[in-house]
Amino acid sequence: MKHLTTFMIIETIARTGSIRAAAEQAALTPSAVQRRLQGYEDELGYEIFERSSKGVRLNAAGEMVIQHVRETLAETDRLQSRIADLSGLRRGRVSIGCSQALVRYFLPVQIAAYQSEFPNVNFEVMVLAHGAAQQALEDYLVDLVLVFDDGALPEYKVLLEVQQRLAVIMAADHPLTRYDTLRLRQCFGYPVILPGQGFGGRALINEAILGKTYGQAPVLESNSFEYLKAHVARTDALTFQIEIGAPEETAAQDGLVSRLIDERDMKPGSLWLGQHRDRSLSVAVSRFAEQISRALSEQYLHF
């Protein structure tokens, strides 16, 4: 397995752009990492990194090598997971790229439930926009993606698509809490704060208010949904989130409640669960994908 250590070092160098940073992560000296890299390049017959005073970056040969390295590491993880399952021990690692909406309520519950049964499975959660999530799958940086988007069918293999309506998030004592659902006109009667351009929910809002006389520019924008919610909890402002990332409608969470937008005003978007089209998943990843598929299907309309 010695070559796998070299592969992990090369992957870390490529990801960090620094031999020193890779050495720190591997608990090795920079010179030891340099020797590993040099030995691999000598065996390969090509240099795979361009060196400069600012660090290192992959050259054309290196781009081909890193794809092979990541595929090999992914397949090794899958093999180890399958071998562990033979003895009844679920082991492995699950890496998932997700939208911000998934990190507050849904994923912590799902991961905690999975690890309570299989404590030897480790997880990595990366918050990514839809386009970045798709690229992370292509680069073998994540095993699964769970991301929201209002656009066309993704290029990766879709395991599940569930419908997501947009919800208004407000302080628990906000005047609009007396309504069961809300029209957009009502919402824009208060200060509105929004996620930045490029988020799927923002695209839905932009489309819904296009040409509407009540549409107004947000008083604040942020790429952090945690900040948006913290701001709303302290003011009479409103923000928006897909329903899976919104607090409960009746019981206040973090001082917030939510109300769904009337479907006459805004069409739903899609939450996609997907994987790389040409990649076989490890047992640990497959079983986790099955678990969250069941949970999403039970809670939301799926296609």
> What band does 291 get if pLDDT is binned at 50, 70 and 90?
very high
Are 268 and 164 spatial neighbours (Cβ–Cβ below 8 Å)?
Answer: yes
The model's pTM: 0.72
Q: pLDDT at position 211, please?
A: 85
Task: Look at residue 73 in the predicted model and tell me its pLDDT.
Answer: 80
The pLDDT value recorded for residue 2 is 62
For residue 173, the tally of other CB atoms under 10 A from its CB is: 10
Between 218 and 5, name the one with better pLDDT: 218
pLDDT digits (tens, 9 = 90+) for 238-270: 999 999 999 987 777 888 999 999 999 988 899
Taking only the tens place, the pLDDT of each residue in 205-245 is: 988 998 888 888 899 999 999 999 999 999 999 999 999 99
pLDDT of residue 92: 84
**Is beta strand 157-164 parallel, antiparallel or unpaired with respect to 220-222?**
unpaired
The better pLDDT of the pair 75, 292 is held by: 292
Query: How confident is the model over 83-142, as pLDDT tens digits?
Result: 766 555 567 889 999 999 999 999 999 999 999 999 989 999 999 988 888 899 988 889
Give residue 86's pLDDT: 56
Higher pLDDT, 219 or 75: 219
- Terminal Cα-to-Cα distance of the chain (whole angstroms): 43
Every domain of the chain with CATH number 3.40.190.290 lies at 166-267
Residue 253 burial by Cβ neighbours in a 10 Å radius (0-12, 13-18, 19+): middle
Q: Give me the pLDDT at residue 88, please.
A: 55
Interval 57-83 mean pLDDT: 82
CATH 3.40.190.10 intervals, the chain? 90-162+274-299
**pLDDT 10s digits, 168-187:** 999 999 999 999 999 999 99
Q: What is the mean pLDDT of residues 47-55?
A: 86
Q: 90-162+274-299: which CATH architecture?
A: 3-Layer(aba) Sandwich (3.40)
What percent of the chain is modeled with pLDDT above 90? 46
Q: Among 59, 139, 82, 87, which Cα is nearest to 285's? A: 82
Residue 123 DSSP SS3: strand
Class in CATH terms, 166-267:
alpha beta
DSSP state of 99: -
pLDDT at 42 over 90: no
> What number is the average pLDDT over the span 142-156?
87
Instruction: Indicate the CATH number of 2-65 among 3.40.50.10680, 1.10.1060.10, 1.10.10.10, 3.30.420.40.
Output: 1.10.10.10
